[in-house]
Every structure is written in structure tokens, then in C-alpha cells.
Structure 1
Amino acid sequence: MFLITRFRVCLLAALFVSLAGSCVYAQTPIVEEPGYTPTLTFDVATVRLAPPPDANFHVSVTSPPHSSRFEATNLPMKALIQIAYGFGAPVTGAPEWVANTFYVIQARSDEAADARLAKLTDNEVRLEKRHAIRELLAERLDFKTHLETRPSSIYNLVTAKSGVKMEAVPAPAARAEGEAAPPMAPANVQAHGSQHGLEFVGSNAPMAAICGALSSMVEAPVVDKTGLAGTFNYVLQFGRDWSVKDPESWPSIFTAVQEQMGLKLEAVHESVPNLVVDHISKPTEN
């Protein structure tokens, strides 16, 4: 049972590296826009304790683009915090229940809010949804936090000596003068579990999305030091805790990244921003 739960939660974290679409997609990460102030809040929201995990345990998150709706099943609060504040900073100071107690969350705003979101850019929508989730955490869990720079273990992602083994995605063909440039295909990463470990199949992925997925697996920030631009297709197969005893288990994520992607995770100890939890209460049933 523990392995099922651990697998599902790790799978969620690997997939949901930014707030857009459903949890099987890794969209373009949120970019801070100093001149833009999000204001979205949820008009209706329920946060309920999920039943104890069983053999049918699964984690799901639904957040349609350009819609205020946000729904999650069997989501730990730590994952919700990371969705609201990002996966780039370690979460410290949180009680144990934040990571191992699961909730069912249903939230939305009104039709007027949806109409406004439909007119915003993709990044502005992500900022709005993140703001709404932060407000939900503050209202229902009395969540208080601050960023504090602390010595932490992180990883730099660099190019391996063997060279990059990922497939570079060609840029869209240029159009005639005066025509709008064709849009880039959205980033997409799907994860598949097996007795051998976990497989990531990524397409149209910029380095930021790749770093986000790797960060969730090594449970530490991953900083892009490759200097690589553009987007890539890749397949990454690596072992996890449930595959240790499998004689055909895939290699560790560190070996797999180097052998299969032509990249390398280098451990460093630096002072980086940590998301420090000052206060959080268990949500009451509603």
C-alpha cells in the first residue's frame, strides 16, 4: 500500500510541474511579470479529507486552461503548496501531515471570471490561478510562509561529455512577410510506471520544463546550466524505490540522465531561497 501511495504522489509531482491543463502535461513554466497583478479568487471551494489509500488509490489534478476551475483528488497539501508557489524552492518547516495526508479539492470562480481569463495570455492565466490557490491556502489553512535564503543541496544540469542525446525540435517554418508567426507546439511530458521504474516521454520540452520534472524526482532544485535553447523530445527511463529488487530495474536517475539524455546532474551546496512554512492548520470539513 505504501508503495502504491508513494508511486502515485511521485508521479503527480513529476507531471504537474506547472499550473495549466491536466496533470499529464508539463506546460511552459510560470514567468513573473512585475507589471501584472493577479486578482483571481475562488468563489466556491471545498477541501475535504480523502479516504485512506487503498488498492485503487490515484492522484489527479484538473485545471483547464482559461477557466477558473481547479479540482484535485487525493492531493497532499505539500503538492498544492508547490503548485501555488513553484517547485524551484525547497519547502521547509512543514509538519509531517502536509506531505502524507490527502485531500479532495474542488474550487471555481464565476462565469465573469472565466470570461476575463479567456482574454488573458497563457502566462497571465497561470499567474491568476496560482494567486487563487494561494488565497485558498491562506483562507482555509491559515497558511503563512516566507522566502528565506538558506544553505541547501541543489543540482546543476550541465551537458555531459558525450554530448546531448535528446532530439532537438525544429523551429516552425517561417511564414510569408506580414503573416503571424506559427505558434510553438505545447510542451508535453507523460509518465508511465512499471516494475522496472518510471519512464518519462517528453515532447516539445524547453529546458525549464525538463528541469522542473527532474527537480520533482530528485526532490531538490535543478538549475539549467546547459545553455541549450529551443525544445526537445526525449525518453528517460530510471529506477525508483519500488523497482530496487527487480533484476531488470532501470538505472538511477543520475545515470539515466547522463546515458539517455546526454546531460548530467551535478550536486552542489549553495544558498538558495527556501519556502519556509511559518504556520499551517489542517482544513476543517466544509
Structure 2
Amino acid sequence: MEVCGVNRMPTLRRANWVIAILALGLMPSMSQTPAAALKEAGPVGFDVAVIRPTAAGDVMGSSHFHIWSAPTDSHFKAQNVTAFALIRYAYEMPEFQVEGGPGWIRSKAFDVEARSDAALDEEFRKLPSAEARQRKLRMIQTLLAERFGLRVHQETRTEPVYALVVARGGPRFSASKADGTTVSNSQGAGGSTMTVKGSDHTLRILAEQLSRTMGRVVLDKTGLDGRFDLTLKWVPDDVTPSSPDAPGGPSLFTALQEQLGLQLKEEKDPVQVLVIDHIDPPSDN
């Protein structure tokens, strides 16, 4: 998952970034409930982990990174990933719900590869996928604590949010046939039009993408727990057509309803926030 900083963008401002996740297994959903209650049973750390700065060292305006994490083995791999992205991934938290930490955790990029022995791989293959994924998350949390000295705590705050709900008439998108085997999400600008396209996509992931665009937390309250193929196109409010004859397009609110059968409703809700108390650059391999 691409990760920007925690600075919130003005409402409906154009987002100049691309999200791309290629996961061999189900990506942890960006849930409103962080993975604080992961099972403690079984190994909670990797046997071997190598963390190196990327060749460029900095994200340098490129927010594109990859994470590979299958639920069928203990292998975890990430390329061009920030510490901030790793924290969000491990705790299943959207960027607007993670606070604190020095600036480098959002700008310094790393390549990470970690795994355990064949015996643990075999144990993972025997577990239900959901349980295996949760154990993998716990292992990544341990990696962050051991190699980055990460310490965090959680707070609950009541804040203005948008609730993503199903509009009258029902959803207008199809169930994915990939069944969690491949996740691919992208958002980018083409001319004056913004596009979000997701294959094997959860609505919680869509809610996080909308959070970046709206500059406010968007909570998935659709009640739809499946995985879907989605495409959403709209014209940001701050875009002026390049010429009088340039085609227009719907606003984000209109596009959500017309293209996906979804709505955003303003609410005040308890929001869980993960606060970074301490983090260091990664220790030597």
C-alpha cells in the first residue's frame, strides 16, 4: 500500500500519488479496529530479518511500494517501504489514524525481507487463512519492536468522520473471482479526472483511499465484507477544465452513488488512533 504522510489534504484536492499492492495473500484490511488483540500462541517473531535502505534512500515523492505476505508461509517481503507504512500494515490502521514519530519514518524508504524456518512454514499451511494472517501481523509487530525499537499506544477519540454506506438501490459492483489471492489497487490522475481502480478490493481499502482524498477519516459502514472489483472516476472540485470544450465529470459524491451505489454521510464517531511513542532507525542486520 502506498503511504503518504499524516498531513491532511484539503477536501477533494487532487491526489498526486499511486497506490499499488501486490500480495500473494490477503492484505490486512484497513480496519477501524487495530490488530491489538492478535493471538499470542505460537512464534511471534521471524528467525531472520534483513532491513536495508533502498537504493535512493528517500521516497523522493514516489509513493509506490510493494508488500508480499502470503498466509501460507512465514515469508514477508517489502520494497521501497517506509517505517510508517510498515506500522500501518502491521496494526491495520489507515494513515489518518496513526500519529507521532519523527519525519524520517515517512520519508526514508527500506527494503525488508524476513522469514522463519520450514517447520513454521508447514505450521502456517495448516492454519485457517485468517488465523495465519493474524499471526503474520503479530510477527511484523515484533519485528518493528525489535529492529526499530517501536513503542506505541492506542487512544479512542470522537471526531468528525464520513461513513461509507450503501445507497438506495444497492451496490453497483461485482464480487471478485480472485478470492483474496491477488490484491491490486491504484489511484492516480489522468488529465482532470481522478480514478480509483481496485481488483480483489475490500471496501475498507476503498474507505482509506477516500480518506486521503477527503482529508477526513472515512469508515466503512457498508456491512459488505466480501472482495470486489471496483472502478471509480470523478473530477476534483479544485480542477478547472483546460479549455471551455473540455469534458467535465461528476463530483466524488455523485460518482460514488452513480458508479458504485455508495454514499458518504457526515457523522461523529469514536475513532481509534495509534500513537507512536518511540521509534529508532533500524538496527544493523
Give the TM-score normalised by the residue count of structure 2. Answer: 0.73
| Secondary structure at the counterpart of residue 127 of structure 1 | helix
Whole-angstrom CA distance in 2 between matches of 1:218 and 1:33: 22
- Structure 1 contact 91–274 (Cα < 8 Å) conserved: yes
- CA drift of 1:236 comes to 1.7
> Could you list the runs of 4 or more consecutive aligned residues of structure 1 that deviate by over 6 angstroms after TM superposition?
27-35, 54-57
| Secondary structure at the counterpart of residue 137 of structure 1 | helix
- Structure 1 contact 197–250 (Cα < 8 Å) conserved: no
Whole-angstrom CA distance in 2 between matches of 1:124 and 1:229: 17
Equivalent of 1:213, from 189, 206, 219? 206
Partner of 2:230: 234
Higher helix share goes to which structure? 1
**Structure 2 counterparts to residues 90-129 of structure 1, below 5 A:** 90-129=97-136
What code does the residue aligned with 1:85 have?
Y
- Structure 1 contact 44–109 (Cα < 8 Å) conserved: yes
What code does the residue aligned with 2:98 have?
V
Alignment partner of 1:59 is 2:65: yes
Partner of 1:40: 44
What code does the residue aligned with 1:270 have?
D
**Deviates further, 213-222 or 256-265:** 213-222
| 1:240/1:268 CA distance change after superposition, 3 Å | same
Equivalent of 1:185, from 179, 182, 193? 179
Identity between Structure 1 and Structure 2 (%)? 31
What code does the residue aligned with 1:197 have?
M
Whole-angstrom CA distance in 2 between matches of 1:67 and 1:249: 48
Aligned alpha-carbon RMSD (Å): 3.8
Alignment partner of 1:268 is 2:267: yes
In the alignment, structure 1 segments of 5+ residues that lack a partner are 171-182
- CA drift of 1:249 comes to 7.9
Q: Deviations over 1:71-126 (max 9, x none)?
A: 11110111111111012570012222222221111111111110111110101111
In the alignment, structure 2 segments of 5+ residues that lack a partner are 6-14
| 1:135/1:114 CA distance change after superposition, 3 Å | same
Partner of 2:81: 75
Whole-angstrom CA distance in 2 between matches of 1:56 and 1:273: 28
| Secondary structure at the counterpart of residue 197 of structure 2 | strand
Alignment partner of 1:130 is 2:137: yes
What code does the residue aligned with 2:211 have?
V
- Structure 1 contact 87–221 (Cα < 8 Å) conserved: no
**Aligned residue pair count:** 257
Q: Deviations over 1:241-273 (max 9, x none)?
A: 9x9577468655444322311211223333322
| Secondary structure at the counterpart of residue 102 of structure 2 | coil
Partner of 1:198: 195
Whole-angstrom CA distance in 2 between matches of 1:37 and 1:144: 18
- Structure 1 contact 87–216 (Cα < 8 Å) conserved: no
| 1:26/1:235 CA distance change after superposition, 3 Å | farther
Whole-angstrom CA distance in 1 between matches of 2:53 and 2:223: 44
